[in-house]
Structure 1
Amino acid sequence: MPSTYLCIDLKSFYASVECIDRGLDPLQASLVVADPDRGRSTICLAVSPALKRLGIPGRCRVFELPSDVPYIMATPRMRRYMEVSAQVYQTYLGFVGEQDVHAYSVDECFIHIGPYLNLYDCDARTLAHRMIEAVRLATGVPATVGIGPNLFLAKVALDLFAKTDAEGIAELSPASFFDRTWFHQPITDIWGIGRGVAARLRAHGVVDLAGVAALDPAVLRREFGKNAEYLIDHAWGQEPCTMEQIRSYHPKGRSLTSGQVLPKPYALDQVRLVVSEMAESISADLMESGLMAGAVGLSVGYELPATDRRASTASVCAPEHTGDARSPSSADHAVWVNPNRVHQGGQRVLPHPTCSYAKLREAALKILETVVPAHGLVHRVNISVSRIIASGDAQASLFDEPADTRSERCLRGTLGEVRRRFGKSAVLYGISLREGATARERNRQIGGHRA
């Protein structure tokens, strides 16, 4: 039986939910989802379709919204969006089995419908229409659908054609793929090709998928390594990955990441405070999951005083790269530069795997000292831990004090139990009460936004 996939996207999901909860038509109301407390420079999480039809992009900043267009500003409610997303997922399960649904994000999913077309005695477009109509009746949220014989073609059909189709449904076959998308520009509209990849392709004279297909595969492999195989497959409309492979995939390694955009530029002393809080949160997550990490990574975005920007930019990045992200090298520190901000990061391999707050904090702060100058003003911080193993798999070290280790484990276990029962802010380290600390506010959020 030939494979047939749907890629379903909930139209302006956050904005649609806010419109529906206000009794408004999500396709006609003018509404943006943004947190007014974060100022006019904050990014809109979503804008309604009516505003998009006026040419307003979905991820603009509040100050970029036209002053002559009236609109409602809705404060994000992430818990509510997750509730509706779960309701939509259950609606899909009324048509297909759980094994044939892959949630790609909170508002987008892939569904393998090939095995169900005979059951429902209809074609793919008819079944797709029934499913999005069921979602609309259950939640009020409109949806668009891409249909294709593989995951890639379904996604491309959604991104390039379904969102402008009168019914919100578009289908690509292997033949129509070449006719409709091979010469489509910009190439960044194609799933999996971002600005960095597009810039590297452009250096070889490639601006569309037809150019990728025409380029010597050896050149692509030298430029992109293993990732070249994805480009080559997609240039010919092929996607070897199936739903079964997605569900059976188990990564070789694991990592945990926590990141935040700071409410204002922070001086280095304040950033040390924030990094300490984030290390404590990562430590708690490791402890609760019975895991240990063997490496700590930290990346920060910071601004330099105006007098230092030109010199710093020239020393870090060649002029022709200014403003474009470069692929990280194999060096310990990777650097990206735009005319106003610098992004730097580093990683430290720990002597022994650990979940100790003190050791994770120490490693993160050492990285911070090496990547941010004393006068840098930090606006973004990300901390990660990798080389994760189960606590039971770690070998004892001659340099660890067993009594200290047991004491910290006992303390962290007690803290975790209290926080599970009474909330994350029930017990805090003293640093979280200092000016500039962000843990209390973030404990009230989901995904960095208001719950």
Structure 2
Amino acid sequence: MSQQENTNGGLVLAASPRAKRELGISNVTRRRDVPNDPRLIIVEPRMNHYIAMNKRVNDIFRQYVSEEDLHLYSIDESILDITPNWNYLKYKFGQDLTMTKLARIIQLHVKRELGIYLTVGIGESNSMAKMALDIEAKHAKSLIGEWSYETIPDKLWPITDFDEVWSIGRKTSAKLKYFGIYSMGQLANTDPTFLKSKFGIRGEELFALSWGVDRSVVANKYHVKSSNISNSQVLPRDYFEVNEIKNVIREIGEQVSSRLRSKGKQAGVVSLYVGFAYASVKEDGNSGFHAQLSIDSTNSSGSIVKALHYIFDTHYRGQVVRNLGVSAAKLVEGGQEQLDLLKDPIKQIKERDLDDTVDKIRNKYGVTSIVKLSSLGDGGTMIDRAGLVGGHNGGNAYG
């Protein structure tokens, strides 16, 4: 359970199957709604520990598939393409090996070495395996669910709650119902031409999903052609003061700039997201703003923060703020930087050297080894967030 102040007392980030089944607890349940039951054990997130355990679990998976046939889907889910190694696995474990038997072998292997119970979804495609995991395996006594194209009509088509189905979100669900489609079976028997006309390429994907069709291959890794570097955070409280808001924007901007330098990149566009607090949203219905600005390619903290403050000053109208996000895009290789003709070149060089020096100190001694005085006050969040991983408590890493 998250213990951060910005979650208003805490949220359930993950609940055991037994807690869900017997006590009705689900992910994102608020602390005030968690029953006072002596059987419950509530612990804070330990993201460093989770990451370490994720690595150990996937190291076991690598004993069954090659690296290119393993996809790390999330902190607690991986996709294994068994097909290329199937003949070897049958040679190792016996010619009567089945996918369910192999799943059980891997389950016992992980339980024996790490004490963790695995839930396994088996399917003839990646999306089918994911749906088998979410819809069947998590509720099965064996924690294994196996689907095939032949069983799709029996296991997938009866589902009317689209939220249960991987990749179908709330908006898509509402749109499907608007067009009179209330089950996965109806979706499977809808004219794909109609779906494409209403949903675009997403319509074809939905039709394929309803039949369990997914032509992606784990070994064919997707490589992002155009990337960006971003950071965002939910503030620990509502921010009313302009100087406090701009101070946190400065902190996030400097963090993004440091990440750019560490990757040897420069950004040609910076963008700022400002999300308003509930009170402001309720008052005028405006949830926030997102704007970007083209700049001369740079990774200078001063230049990027200056651009972000300009965006903020241009669009901010006194609302109460609760969310902030910064992104740097149109990345190019670093190494050269255009000096500003209107600024002292010596000063610009010194600023760049200062950024590099601060980076080196923080890399060696930690992020909080050197901080600006404003981060100690004026609503600064840098120090409090230094120990977080993915926005949650890092905890202790275990080897």
* TM-score of the aligned structures, taking structure 2 as reference length: 0.89
The whole-number CA distance in structure 1 between the counterparts of 2:87 and 2:307 is 58
In structure 2, the CA distance between the partners of 1:371 and 1:201, relative to structure 1 (3 Å rule), is farther
* Secondary structure of the corresponding residue to residue 130 of structure 1: helix
- What corresponds to 2:93 in structure 1? none
The whole-number CA distance in structure 1 between the counterparts of 2:393 and 2:225 is 33
The whole-number CA distance in structure 1 between the counterparts of 2:189 and 2:102 is 37
In structure 2, the CA distance between the partners of 1:72 and 1:36, relative to structure 1 (3 Å rule), is farther
In structure 2, the CA distance between the partners of 1:73 and 1:304, relative to structure 1 (3 Å rule), is closer
> In the alignment, is the contact (CA less than 8 A) between 1:288 and 1:413 conserved in 2?
no
Percent of aligned pairs sharing the same letter: 29
TM superposition shift of 1:413: 1.1
Match runs of 1:416-435 below 5 Å: 416-435=359-378
Instruction: Report which stretch shifted further, 260-269 or 98-107.
Output: 260-269
Match runs of 1:60-79 below 5 Å: 60-68=29-37, 70-79=39-48
* Secondary structure of the corresponding residue to residue 35 of structure 1: coil
Q: What is the aligned counterpart of 1:88 among 52, 57, 70?
A: 57
TM superposition shift of 1:218: 4.3
> In the alignment, is the contact (CA less than 8 A) between 2:247 and 2:378 conserved in 1?
no
The whole-number CA distance in structure 1 between the counterparts of 2:179 and 2:194 is 9
**2:8 equivalent to 1:34:** no
Letter in 1 for 2:216: C
Q: What is the aligned counterpart of 1:193 among 157, 168, 185?
A: 168
The whole-number CA distance in structure 1 between the counterparts of 2:326 and 2:4 is 27
Match runs of 1:41-60 below 5 Å: 41-53=9-21, 54-60=23-29
Q: What is the aligned counterpart of 2:261 among 287, 298, 307?
A: 287
* Secondary structure of the corresponding residue to residue 184 of structure 1: coil
Equivalences, count: 386
Q: Report Cα offsets for 1:416-435 as digits up to 9, x if no partner.
A: 11111101111112221224
- What corresponds to 1:358 in structure 2? 302
Q: What is the aligned counterpart of 1:134 among 64, 87, 109?
A: 109
> In the alignment, is the contact (CA less than 8 A) between 2:12 and 2:26 conserved in 1?
no
* TM-score of the aligned structures, taking structure 1 as reference length: 0.79
Q: What is the aligned counterpart of 1:408 among 328, 347, 351?
A: 351
Match runs of 1:250-261 below 5 Å: 250-261=223-234
TM superposition shift of 1:197: 1.8
> In the alignment, is the contact (CA less than 8 A) between 1:295 and 1:347 conserved in 2?
no
Match runs of 1:287-306 below 5 Å: 287-303=261-277, 305=279
Q: Report Cα offsets for 1:123-145 as digits up to 9, x if no partner.
A: 11111111111111111111110
TM superposition shift of 1:303: 2.5
> In the alignment, is the contact (CA less than 8 A) between 2:257 and 2:301 conserved in 1?
yes
In structure 2, the CA distance between the partners of 1:162 and 1:39, relative to structure 1 (3 Å rule), is closer
Gaps of 5+ in 2: 91-96, 395-399
> In the alignment, is the contact (CA less than 8 A) between 1:297 and 1:384 conserved in 2?
yes
Instruction: Report which stretch shifted further, 294-303 or 102-111.
Output: 294-303
TM superposition shift of 1:225: 3.2
- What corresponds to 1:266 in structure 2? 239
Instruction: Report which stretch shifted further, 175-184 or 35-44.
Output: 35-44
Q: What is the aligned counterpart of 1:118 among 66, 77, 87?
A: 87
* Secondary structure of the corresponding residue to residue 232 of structure 2: strand
